[in-house]
Structure 1
């Protein structure tokens, strides 16, 4: 129950944070698109194209409003998804990496560790309830 409570709190915090800040249409659209398509390859060009603005403008706008780059945000969302898969399933790390569009497992481990301060294996061992 600890995990689900934490997950719920995290989600509630994110919703609150999201609603508290009034983001531009472009940034809001990006966030929704990324959250909905976390398993797909998402590119700055594709998002900018969809919004009919230049990639440079979108990149600057996103960084200004969110405080992190678009690619950092995408990585964080993918790591959030990986955390769920690691603790709620027994899927292998290589499967999780592939599904979340991390072509290089060692790169994924570095990104995961940078964001969570632990490796995917350590995270799985610490937080798995099944």
Structure 2
């Protein structure tokens, strides 16, 4: 009977160890702050946005519609995209509209597939004003 008791104890210990590992994994995994608007792995042809004119400075990829860019950050930075975009390249197969206000309102500029603008100061949306972006396919 002692052999069965030791076997049951060993099996229980292994089961607890596996359960402990399985339940501990989510606690150590970092959860994204929001659904990934800028996820690079799931986005092969995004809208490229740049902090400075002529496609310079910090950059980021936009993969899907976003009504408020305030919670998106520049690549390798803590600074928000909101009101800080100065040039854009559309390498997507879809059309993008970028808006000066959140919720897709205010002045806007349309970027059809392959279009780009190295200097947003010279158009109606303006430099450092973009707050939302809408993708249409």
TM-score, structure 2 length as denominator?
0.23
Bigger Rg, structure 1 or 2: 2
> Could you say which structure has the higher helix fraction?
1
> Could you say which structure has the higher strand fraction?
2
TM-score, structure 1 length as denominator?
0.24
